Amino acid sequence: MDREIKRYLIGLKLISHLDRRINKVLEVFGSPDKVWHASVRELSESLSISKELAQEIAGQRQRIDLNEELKRLKDFDGELLSVFDTSYPQLLKEISSTPVFFVQGSLVKTYDYGVAIVGSRRASAYGKEFAFRLARQLSDLGVTVVSGVARGIDSAAHSGALQGAGGTIGVLGCGLDVIYPPENRQLYAEISRNGSLISEYALGAPPLPFNFPARNRIISGLSQGVVIVEELLLLPILLWIRGGM
């Protein structure tokens, strides 16, 4: 993916009205640069939105410095991963997923087989130990463990997976530069160095409550299997996302 495409994709992700419908936007216009340079009339007619909303989008475009945003991501050791890249995970094409992600670490572009281990934030000591041991055993076999970098089971799974060759992928419900929960700062660093952190949210995006259920579809989408530890409520959600139930 060349630099120009990256610039425009970052811009689209920074405009909420376009980000929320980014699949349709790219389908209609064909390429991100055409969206970025579309007139107010083209935006309104092509996306079936009001002229007022199209004008608001055009105004937001003018206030975004694409080169500065690309530099900001690079300075943070992050990169863009999109459907325009050959390394975009095939599994993500099979779910309702954004075509654009912000990434630290290369594992998400090279891993072969992933298993998600997720569960309760208020896990028991036994549950966390189970998640840690299972993740380590899977990682020792070369399986990549995918989870959400949350408290409890997620953190234990990432920690266990980092002990083996398969490594781990952390899917965030906020921007790459937002540490949540704050006590996981060291875990963030270890995952970014030895695995991958991935987010559909731009830098600076806060950990809003509704981001986390949405994030679950990405965890599932990156995995061939899902293990739920001490959290029954997640089971129907993740199975539905994968087309199970």
- Residue type present at position 217: R
**245 or 48: which leads in pLDDT:** 48
For residues 138-163, average pLDDT: 97
* Of the candidate ranges 37-41, 91-95, 101-105, 168-172, the one whose mean pLDDT is the lowest: 91-95
Residues 69 and 162 in one domain: no
Residues 143 and 232 in one domain: yes
The residues, any chain, with a CB within 8 Å of residue 167's CB and separated by 6 or more, are 107, 111, 139, 144, 145, 161, 194, 195, 196
The residues, any chain, with a CB within 8 Å of residue 203's CB and separated by 6 or more, are 72, 73, 76, 78, 102, 175, 176, 177
Q: Where are the beta strands (DSSP E) in the chain?
A: 79-82, 100-104, 114-119, 144-147, 168-171, 196-199, 225-229
- Residue type present at position 141: L
Burial, 72: exposed, middle or buried (Cβ in 10 Å; 0-12, 13-18, 19+)? middle
Residues 54 and 139 in one domain: no
C-alpha 148/C-alpha 151 separation (Å) is 9
On the question of pLDDT at 239 being above 60, the answer is no
The residues, any chain, with a CB within 8 Å of residue 86's CB and separated by 6 or more, are none
Residues 63 and 109 in one domain: no
Does the pTM of the predicted model rise above 0.85?
Answer: yes
**230 or 59: which leads in pLDDT:** 59
Residues 71 and 111 in one domain: no
**245 confidence band (pLDDT: 50, 70, 90):** very low
pLDDT of 231: 67
* Of the candidate ranges 3-17, 34-48, 133-147, 225-239, the one whose mean pLDDT is the lowest: 225-239
For residues 209-216, average pLDDT: 91
- Expressed as residue numbers, the domain containing 22 is 3-75
Residues 226 and 149 in one domain: yes
Decide if 131 is inside a domain.
yes
With a pLDDT cut of 70, the percent of the chain lying above it is: 93
Separation in Å, CA 154 to CA 34, 39, 141, 197: 40, 45, 19, 13
For residues 140-162, average pLDDT: 97
Decide if 148 is inside a domain.
yes
Residues 192 and 152 in one domain: yes
On the question of pLDDT at 161 being above 80, the answer is yes
For residues 142-155, average pLDDT: 97
Both tokens of 73, joined, read: 């991501």
Number of domains in the chain: 2
Decide if 167 is inside a domain.
yes
Decide if 202 is inside a domain.
yes
With a pLDDT cut of 90, the percent of the chain lying above it is: 84
Phi/psi for 197 (5° steps) reads: -110, 140
Residues 49 and 165 in one domain: no
pLDDT of 128: 94
On the question of pLDDT at 22 being above 50, the answer is yes
Residues 115 and 177 in one domain: yes
Decide if 32 is inside a domain.
yes
- Residue type present at position 155: S
The alpha-carbon radius of gyration of the chain (Å, integer) is: 19
Decide if 84 is inside a domain.
no
Residues 107 and 189 in one domain: yes
**Under 8 Å between Cβ of 93 and 23:** no
In sequence order, what are the beta bridge partners of 117? Answer: 227
| Strands 79-82, 168-171: pairing kind | unpaired
For residues 178-191, average pLDDT: 97
Decide if 224 is inside a domain.
yes
CATH number of domain containing 143 = 3.40.50.450
Q: List the strands of the sheet with 168-171, edge to edge.
A: 79-82, 100-104, 196-199, 168-171, 144-147, 114-119, 225-229
User: Over the stretch 195-208, which tens digit does the pLDDT of each residue have?
Assistant: 999 999 999 999 99
Decide if 41 is inside a domain.
yes
Residues 160 and 206 in one domain: yes
Please, what is the Cα angle at 207 between 205 and 209, to 5 degrees?
130
The residues, any chain, with a CB within 8 Å of residue 113's CB and separated by 6 or more, are 142, 143, 144, 166, 224
Residues 27 and 108 in one domain: no
User: Is the bond preceding residue 181 a cis peptide, omega within 30 degrees?
Assistant: yes
